[in-house]
Structure 1
Amino acid sequence: MDTTRNAALEAWMTEHGYSSNSFADAVNRAVGRLTGRLGGLDGSSVRDWKAGRVTWPKSATRKALEDVTGLPATALGFVPRRRAPSTSNSERRGPGMKRRTLVGGIAAAAAAATAPGAAAPRRIGMSDVDRLRKRFVQIVSSDHHHGGRLGTEQQAAALADEALGLQDSGSATQRVRNSLYASAAAFRSSAMWAAIDGRRFDNAKAHMREAQALAEISGDSAIKFRIWSHAGTMYRHMGRPEDALAANDVARNLHLTRRDPLFACLGHARQAATLGLLGDTTAVQRALGCAQDAFERADPDLARPVWMTAARNGAELETLALAAYFRLGKFERAETHAHRSLTLLRPQMRRDRAINTARLATAQLGQGDCELATATAMKVPTDIATRHARVAHMLQGFGITLCATAPGSTAAQTWTEHTAAWRTIA
């Protein structure tokens, strides 16, 4: 028997992220709520629907379908069974009557479809989630390019609210709802990071609390890792190493770090950067050794979140090793990692390049090479040097150290003249 595939049902399932098995499970649960007894469908039942082999499920199943999708069975491509008309009725109807009946039926259906209140409730699907994910990529790109801007923080927070607003704008599957919560958590974590990067720590803590709650609801372990890692960085920049270590431990103990060594690499490297604050060289070296081992075990082709771009090729590991040795005052080793990081960082990651260039300059100054250090510091782009809070703070410290180390030197004079022009820009 020839059958026509149920394209409407297939399209709905694709839109809302269902496989045949997961859709059967959802309908079975809906049958259970209706009848008190779990339905007996499986993936093959759904495949029969999609293939058109079953065109009109049983009444309880149809009602369950409607509960799951929010649509009538006919809108899902199912066709009611029709009884063949009796011969006498058929004979009494002429071609004109048949046509009028058909046209009348179509008109009635159209009228019902356009009547007030007749529209099916809006379904929120994976296309809505994908749209938010594209906006998240833009937020991450803006962070890489500018970093720390209040505008980025505000935009990310607004997008988190938009993701939450979708929860109340229509019906959705649990998978879609979890994805929306994960998107909201991701945007909040970006708002948190922008606030940290701009040294707006009170804002960062408020975003952190919201992000943590959303991440727990979503169950997304990758975004949980990001949020707790950001918390560790925030406390490190606030000079609270013990709190930073505790936050990093939460991230490092997530099951995700055992499933994907690249997350473990990041966890160990960020711990090393914090341990540098405590002056514990042995602990720093141990943590960086664990990070390097994990990096070598990581699958480079595994799909990962967009915010892990710098981790994939080792740039983030080198950056964090630079931070660790920089805080230990081991400037020669810090310089080595600075050069490696600048080689690996992609050109569009201007914020990270500026930070690492500022650290490189300070590491060179720490080794007594004032001329080279000044030339390096002058490579930081003016727009970042004057508008990025962390970079400006670091370069201010560089200038103070330079003038204290070599007062009246050519290098100090050159730096003073270079920064004098910033006052008209900042």
Structure 2
Amino acid sequence: MSTPNSTLRAVRMGLLLSQDEFARAIRDAGHRTGSPNDASKRLVQRWESGTTVAPRPVYARALEAVTGLPIEALGFPAPALVRISEDGHGGHDLQGSPVGIPVAAGSPTPQAAPRGNYSGVWLSTYEFVSSGRDDQVFTGKHFVVLLQHGNRLTGRSLPNGSLNPDSPLTLDLQVDGSTVTGTWTEQTAAEGYYRGARYFGALQMLVEPTGRRMAGKWVGFGKEFDVNTGPWELRLMDASTTKAVLDSYNRPPE
């Protein structure tokens, strides 16, 4: 059974694009870069359903151009792992599990079922210390679309839903009972203080019994190769992910 690519779906929804609009944007990106492609709504559906596990290079480059994220951050395997399909031929969208991805021996560790469905629009808030600005404490805020598939949560900030413009945030999380663990990535604004630097790290939070708030800590690397940490909170704003709701939160948080 195919595993849906909820990461790509979350990114697309975070960009406020329908599957048709997303396919059109991919085609437009191909024309701009001199590598035309035939992206269609059906192809986007195959990617998101997991029927096609990896896009061809021409689509991968266009996807990166449209989303501003590397292909492995869109729920696809890293390019090095998808060059050869099961019949030994490369250069095609791969079906099923790609050759080259190791499979762990033995049975997976059982996970506790999530206490609820956490799909919706959440307000993400974290704090960090800026060593280059006299160790001042700053707050980062984003309106994030979270989508849940089984025990997995994937998230992407809305295009205009952050305090700092052009600073998208992505989350890839795993739910185990009331514990949420995973990774975060933020691409800072090119014109901002951090000049387009890409930061990433780990995140662990506990879900409150109401299911409307998660709180915990982040960890990540600083400019001087030091390890930093700080508080991180996700607060549910709306459990719906309709276009009208996403449009209403496509603005900087107060």
Q: Shorter chain as normaliser: what TM range? A: 0.3 to 0.5
* TM-score, length-scaled by structure 1: 0.22
Q: Which has the larger radius of gyration?
A: 1
* Higher-strand-fraction structure: 2
